[in-house]
Chain A
Amino acid sequence: MHDSFKYLIYLLLFIFIFLPIVYLFVSAFFPNFQLVNLSSLWNYLIFSFDSRIGVIFFRTILLGFFTSAIAGGIGLTLAVLLEYTNLSHRKFLKFLLFAPFLIPPYLFTFSWMGLLGKRGTFTEIIFHNMPLNIYNPFAIILLLSLSYFPIAMFIISLGLKNIDSNIIDSGRLSNRKNLMKKIILPLISPHLLIACFFVFVLTISEYTVPAFLRVNAYSSEIFAQLAAFYDIRRAAVLSLPVVVLALFLAGVIHFYFRNKSFTTISSSSRKKLNFISLSKNQKIISYSFILLLTLFSLIIPITMVIIESNLTFFDAVASAKTQIFNSFLTSFSGALAVTLLGFFTYYFFKKSKSLIALISFPLAISSPVIGISLINLYNNSQVPVYGTVWMILLGYLLRFLPFSVFIFSSFFPQISPSIEESARLSKSSFFKRIYRIVLPLTKGGFLSSFIIIFILCFGEVGLTQMVTPPGFQTLSMRIETLMHYANYSHLASLSLFLLSLIFFVYLIHIWVYRENE
């Protein structure tokens, strides 16, 4: 049963993750599965990748590079502060600092534009007729760094937690001075690189933020091919370099770490560490850093949304009842499906080093292209899902599976393999082992994955609007539409509702997590 279920998961991953993407590229290069004339294909590629596209591609890579460096740096600093120092309320601060990741980047940018943009409150009050220029690549780097540092912090914290406390203690006793440089940093280097890689692929596939800030990024170019010209073939061809780059980087990481272990923990030595004893002044600096980050990534965006809503909150919510219900429906089912597949994917692939490459490559593909890949596959197939809500679920599976797998990766190492092996020797069936042994021990991961994916699905817009059936609209899609009509007050009210709901669900997550601990 164990093996047959494993093959079923292989099959599901192939159908849900690989097939739509592979089919998109195959059909883009070989329309109608016919062998094309090589010279015409070459001409098409030259036509698609002109020098203008080259400049935009290079600019996007730079955006990704600098964003991942800044977010990775902030994430590393926070992870060390919150895992290894004697700062008070570290658990609370961890939850607080993860919250900005849950604000969809388009809402994040919208709120900052409300402060510093051309119609900005700050601009109008302080700099009359002198708008601050936030419409540039640097603003994108800063905004996306503020949006993505929590995921870097989460991944690096995982690495720090997984270091055997005895290994650190033996380093402290023998050479404290070089402990960070020679022991801790090399041991978490896989996590650090993966954190930067995650931020990099998320940045190069993000299209709403560059579009709002009027910077021509590669993902916006791909979106333009879809939205303005409905040229699926060109959009797919343009997506190829990004996917190849993501796979190449994943391959480099895989190659570099092929002989390195990601965890050093032994079941007997997992202890809470706070061996870096900060002085009073160092504590003040650390708290100020955390406060500044919270201010820029959480307090200012939320305050701006509240100000812009002009307190028409209840009217706006009443007018979007159907969209709110639809969002609940799709997010709930999406989170459940993603969590189930994420659980079994991690369960069967936890020993495989190709896991990182496997789960991370869809992240590099921007949401609209994922949408198009699904339309392209199911529009021409006998499977009756095209034009139904199932398309949204398939999209969420493709988009959010990596996040779920990563969440499970922080819970599974805590279970010693012998726990399950002993159950296996007692002749219990595969499902019984999962249900009675593995699930109860990873229920914290299950709930975390469900809630985080629910929140991500609730805010998702790029993919949802591509695959949604006629007459069906979610809350995030309505917000996106209002943005185009420049109805800012209504938009801010709905955004406020969306954020309130996201944070309410997040609070439930914190409560559930603490209960499970």
Chain B
Amino acid sequence: MSEMIKLESISKKFNGKEILKDVNFEVRRGERFGIFGPSGCGKTTALRIIAGLEKPDIGKVVLRGKEVTSSKTFVQPEQRNISFIFQDLALWPHMSVKDHLDFVLSFRISEKNQREKKIEEILKAVNLKNQLNSKPEQLSGGEKQRLALARVIAQKSDIFLLDEPYSSFDIDLKEEMQKLLWEMHKKFNLTTVYVTHDIFEILNFCNRVARMENGKIAEIKKPREIVKKYFYKIAKSMK
């Protein structure tokens, strides 16, 4: 598997407070890479730095073998071809489901008929065909999540970044959405970075995990090993 994402010695300060300290990791093609850790440990900042939405103070980001962030280079986020699902989903409140996809597709498909065909295809894949003209406020939590997923699929990027996308969902909905995400991951041959503080999401979805603590990568292991250690820690604290 070739290297899709690589972070080298990334550090970042906000208002004098060190959020990331010498972060290093790489994600290989087709991987489902998790970043796990407590709130405020720098997970989201690391993700935003990959997308180019934040600039690190020091360090290098390489995407698909090409340097996109360093002291000399900075490729704008829109030129990185990255799909990002935000924690609050960031749906556009004034646009219908169809408009959301049309907006994204119009960037690469100029013909209207072709776009409409593509919209239908994507909505079918995420099971949202009946809500074509609904606006985000008219959708349920799960439907909003499907729309966010449909939007990033429309973008046709091979790198998927997810920032705690299911943090506000109940267990059933979480399971359903993870299943859908899994299907999409396989179908579109994606490389996914999944940020969460929920150990079960890591166990269910990821095949490699970086555990973060106070802005540093504490370890990178298989999910089972991380989970084992985590539960051992909990059990120890309960004694």
For the complex, give the distance between the alpha carbons of A175 and B92 in Å: 13
Contacting residue for B93 out of A171, A178, A261, A268, CB 8 A: A261
B interface SS class = loop
Mark out the residues of chain B between 137 and 156 whose CB falls within 8 Å of any chain A CB in the assembled complex. 151-152, 154-155
B86 and A166 form a contact (CB under 8 A):
yes
Chain A, Cβ-Cβ closest to B108: A175
Q: How near does chain A come to B100, taking the closest CB pair, in angstroms?
A: 9
Q: How near does chain B come to A160, taking the closest CB pair, in angstroms?
A: 15
Known: A175-B103, A178-B103. A170 touches B86 (CB 8 A): yes
Contacting residue for B53 out of A169, A177, A183, A266, CB 8 A: A169
**Does A176 make an interface contact (CB < 8 A)?**
yes
Mark out the residues of chain B between 46 and 95 whose CB falls within 8 Å of any chain A CB in the assembled complex. 51, 53, 76-78, 80, 82-84, 86-88, 90-95
Contacting residue for A164 out of B77, B83, B88, CB 8 A: B88
On chain B, the residues within 8 Å of A170 by CB distance are 84, 86, 90, 92, 151
Chain B, Cβ-Cβ closest to A177: B107
B94 and A171 form a contact (CB under 8 A):
no
For the complex, give the distance between the alpha carbons of A269 and B53 in Å: 13
A169 and B86 form a contact (CB under 8 A):
yes
B104 and A264 form a contact (CB under 8 A):
no
Known: A176-B78, A277-B76. A171 touches B88 (CB 8 A): no
For the complex, give the distance between the alpha carbons of A172 and B52 in Å: 11
A173 and B94 form a contact (CB under 8 A):
no
B94 and A187 form a contact (CB under 8 A):
yes
B77 and A173 form a contact (CB under 8 A):
yes
Chain B, Cβ-Cβ closest to A176: B78
Known: A166-B90, A167-B90, A170-B90. A182 touches B77 (CB 8 A): no
Number of A-B pairs, beta carbon distance below 8 Å: 69
Listed residue (A175, A177, A277) with the most chain B CB atoms within 10 angstroms of its CB: A175
**Does B114 make an interface contact (CB < 8 A)?**
no
Contacting residue for A174 out of B53, B87, B88, B103, CB 8 A: B103
On chain A, the residues within 8 Å of B51 by CB distance are 169, 173
**Does B127 make an interface contact (CB < 8 A)?**
no
On chain A, the residues within 8 Å of B92 by CB distance are 167, 170-171, 183, 187
Chain B, Cβ-Cβ closest to A168: B90
Q: Tell me how many residues of B have a C-beta within 8 Å of chain A.
A: 26
Listed residue (B53, B88, B154, B155) with the most chain A CB atoms within 10 angstroms of its CB: B53
For the complex, give the distance between the alpha carbons of A176 and B76 in Å: 10
Q: How near does chain A come to B122, taking the closest CB pair, in angstroms?
A: 13
Q: How near does chain B come to A58, taking the closest CB pair, in angstroms?
A: 35
Contacting residue for B88 out of A260, A266, A277, CB 8 A: A266
For the complex, give the distance between the alpha carbons of A95 and B192 in Å: 45
A169 and B84 form a contact (CB under 8 A):
yes
Q: How near does chain B come to A364, taking the closest CB pair, in angstroms?
A: 29
For the complex, give the distance between the alpha carbons of A269 and B164 in Å: 14
A172 and B77 form a contact (CB under 8 A):
yes
For the complex, give the distance between the alpha carbons of A177 and B94 in Å: 18
For the complex, give the distance between the alpha carbons of A135 and B82 in Å: 58
A269 and B88 form a contact (CB under 8 A):
yes
Q: Known pairs A166-B90, A169-B51. 5 more at Cβ < 8 A?
A: A169-B86, A173-B77, A177-B107, A178-B107, A187-B92
Top 9 A-B pairs ranked by shortest CB distance?
Answer: A166-B90, A176-B78, A175-B107, A170-B90, A174-B104, A166-B86, A186-B94, A167-B90, A172-B78
Interface set of A (CB-CB < 8 Å, partner B): 164, 166-167, 169-178, 182-183, 186-187, 260-261, 264, 266, 268-269, 277
5 inter-chain pairs at a CB distance below 8 angstroms, sorted by A residue, are A166-B90, A169-B90, A170-B92, A174-B104, A269-B86
Interface set of B (CB-CB < 8 Å, partner A): 51, 53, 76-78, 80, 82-84, 86-88, 90-95, 103-104, 106-107, 151-152, 154-155
